[in-house]
Structure 1
Amino acid sequence: MSLSHAYGHPPAHDHAVRLLNRALDLGYDLLDTAALYGFGVNEELIGEAVGHRRREFTLASKCGMQGVDGKRVIDGRPETLRRTLEDSLRRLRTDVIDLYYLHRWDKQVPIEESVGALAEMVRAGKVRAIGLSEVSADTLRRAHAIHPIAAVQNEYSPWSRNVELGVLEATRALGTALVAFSPLARGFLAGAIRSADQLVEGDIRRSMPRFQGPNLAANLALLARFETLAAEAGCAPAQLSLAWVLARGPHVVAIPGTTSQVHLDENFGAGRVAIDTDLIAAIDSLFTPEAVAGPRYPAATQAEIDTEDFAPSGGN
């Protein structure tokens, strides 16, 4: 996502191509994109940059939320999903997508109808497995009754723990992978944001309450304590955040994004970080729902998603 969409100015095309190839060289084996990212530009980038290495990675993309006339639109109607798939296959330069998510549940369309359309794509051989994004445990179970759901992609990091209200356990019980997006808290737990002034025009974090005013100041105090824990553990804060996510269960997968080769290499090293129960407990007690200041999304965006949420008095 960060190579083409929503985090301010994307990197130069040649840099992005080199970064994707470096990821595969290191051993990353899952690339996650969406029709939404850059309104198709990110899928085109992946097709051009690493399409010739297609057998080396699992390819995931998403439908149900895309750009229409320059605006983001949620549309889960079967005919729209089928059209989006054909466009994505063309841009990705492939004849099959390994994991195809419904990016958002369109609440105007029963989840069973949208998942039914995805199931048809599997039967047609154009998609190997299907997933959902930003959904609740109840919606997951409804969808799973129509067709096996291979993965649920929800935000999960020490400061965004909504999945612990139901989805973490539901995915474990159903044999579904939980794919944690923003496992570095949108760069915050890597120490990338110290001031709101760092967020340029077009960066989605400018509208997110946790990065604003008093909320940001309170969260920076949490970050300082988290950085101390990382130093004591002998690793980078980003690595500690990723190690914490991966320790939540064998079915949990993390998909950190970056535009930096240094961070790409650093993130890959998180798999070698030893994290014991005492350290996990310390992180858990630091980032309680009450301690994190501000909700994940502004109200309008929150209304679009289906994930469980903590009580308003909490930080999540």
Structure 2
Amino acid sequence: MKTIQINGLDRPVTTLIQGSDYFKPSVYEKVCQVLDRYVAIGGNTIDTAHIYCGGESEVAIGMWLKERNNREDIVILTKGAHHDQNGPRVNPEAIRQDLFESLERLGTDYIDLYALHRDDPNIPVSEIIDALNEHIKAGRVKAIGGSNWTTERIQAANEYAASNGLVGFSFNSPNLSLAKANEPFWKGCVSADSSDMEWHEETQLPILSWSSQARGFFTGRFTRQDRSNEDLVRVFYSDANWDRLSRAEKLADKKGVTAIQIALAYVLNQPFPTCALIGAQNEHELVSCFEGSKIELSHEELDWLENGEK
């Protein structure tokens, strides 16, 4: 499987990252099947978060890591400091609390990739970077990033880090997909737009994209008339996205693949390092993603998929 390098890690990260937002100890057999298959095709990175399934996702992953005795072979991406019912929690105390709980659940003494799940623009980036660097210095975290942070805030954080001899963000994890979001899927979520992509091309900061395949929009299961999935309708139904789906289908026919594989390839062929978080739950979905990750698209094909004929 193809890989990218992320500053702070001593091992590469595979471009397909296995998602775990449905993992629980109560479905541990399925968790094992999914992760064992993923590793068998060359994957090495698992995405989770402090809030997934009330923490059960991290617990299930920790069980698998212990049983397989493979912690040193696996890159763990987890996220913390998500807001709660009282509002934002992006502060040193919440970061510390969530991180320590994640470490305990996962049964490990370090996190490879630690991302702040949300941002709070009211908190100075200096305070956040200072707090995260304490955990890096202590060996609890190897690399830090933002999930659902704007590139402006990431730039400010990294400028502060650079000017103070500290470690800045070495990855970003927004939504990036061929289907462009009409509005955030969840409150506070960020989708990469054209200016963000230009910034990433300039800085070469990696994107680890969630909902990289637009939550099934490119599977062919949905039509303009089918409005049964309210979230998909709200976020991804637009004339421009239906046109992108049509172009993806045409290119897929030309290359002998599927439209959803083309959508995945769109994310993985950007002019900067990218990974795609995938939600494969069975062999068919995993193989589809694996084959899609091998597709190479030219700059002209990427532009045509996104914008059509000029």
TM-score range (shorter-chain normalised) is 0.7 to 0.9
Q: Give the letter aligned to residue 95 of structure 2.
A: L
Question: What CA distance in whole angstroms lies between the structure 1 residues aligned with 2:128 and 2:52?
Answer: 20
Question: What CA distance in whole angstroms lies between the structure 1 residues aligned with 2:27 and 2:178?
Answer: 31
Is it true that 1:206 corresponds to 2:231 in the alignment?
yes
Tell me which residue corresponds to 2:219.
Answer: 190
Tell me which residue corresponds to 2:37.
Answer: 22
Is it true that 1:171 corresponds to 2:200 in the alignment?
yes
Tell me which residue corresponds to 1:304.
Answer: none
Question: What CA distance in whole angstroms lies between the structure 2 residues aligned with 1:10 and 1:209?
Answer: 32
Q: 1:3 to 1:30 in 2, by over 3 A?
A: closer
Q: Give the letter aligned to residue 59 of structure 2.
A: E
Q: 1:188 to 1:129 in 2, by over 3 A?
A: same
Question: What CA distance in whole angstroms lies between the structure 1 residues aligned with 2:105 and 2:127?
Answer: 25
Question: What CA distance in whole angstroms lies between the structure 1 residues aligned with 2:195 and 2:239?
Answer: 30
Tell me which residue corresponds to 1:295.
Answer: none
Query: Could you tell me how far 1:129 is from its partner in structure 2?
Result: 0.7
CA contact (8 A) 1:43 1:88 kept: yes
Tell me which residue corresponds to 2:174.
Answer: 154
CA contact (8 A) 1:36 1:65 kept: yes
1:109 to 97, 101, 123: 123
1:230 to 249, 252, 273: 252
Which structure 2 segments of 5+ residues have no match?
1-17, 162-166, 182-190
Question: What CA distance in whole angstroms lies between the structure 2 residues aligned with 1:112 and 1:80?
Answer: 16
Q: 1:193 to 1:94 in 2, by over 3 A?
A: farther
2:50 to 35, 39, 43: 35
CA contact (8 A) 1:104 1:132 kept: yes
TM-score by length of 1: 0.76
TM-score by length of 2: 0.78
Query: Could you tell me how far 1:86 is from its partner in structure 2?
Result: 0.5
Structure 1 stretches of at least 4 aligned residues deviating more than 4 Å after TM superposition: 216-222
Is it true that 1:44 corresponds to 2:59 in the alignment?
yes
Question: What CA distance in whole angstroms lies between the structure 1 residues aligned with 2:41 and 2:196?
Answer: 31
Q: State how 1:298-313 maps to structure 2 within 5 Å.
A: none
Deviations 1:241-283 (A, max 9, x none): 1111111124222222222321112101123213234432320
Deviations 1:18-42 (A, max 9, x none): 1012111111122111112112111
CA contact (8 A) 1:30 1:59 kept: yes
Which structure 1 segments of 5+ residues have no match?
200-204, 289-316
Question: What CA distance in whole angstroms lies between the structure 1 residues aligned with 2:99 and 2:131?
Answer: 11
Report the identity percentage: 26
Q: 1:253 to 1:151 in 2, by over 3 A?
A: same
Query: Could you tell me how far 1:226 is from its partner in structure 2?
Result: 2.5
Is it true that 1:284 corresponds to 2:306 in the alignment?
yes
CA contact (8 A) 2:204 2:272 kept: no
Tell me which residue corresponds to 2:278.
Answer: 256
Query: Could you tell me how far 1:218 is from its partner in structure 2?
Result: 7.6
Q: 1:169 to 1:222 in 2, by over 3 A?
A: closer
Question: What CA distance in whole angstroms lies between the structure 2 residues aligned with 1:35 and 1:85?
Answer: 8
Deviations 1:74-98 (A, max 9, x none): 3111011101100000111111000
Query: Could you tell me how far 1:55 is from its partner in structure 2?
Result: 1.9
Q: How many residues align?
A: 274
1:273 to 277, 295, 302: 295
Q: 1:11 to 1:22 in 2, by over 3 A?
A: farther
Bigger shift: residues 161-170 or 141-150: 161-170
Q: Secondary structure at the match of 1:166?
A: helix
Q: Secondary structure at the match of 2:76?
A: strand
Q: Secondary structure at the match of 1:163?
A: coil
RMSD over aligned Cα atoms:
3.0
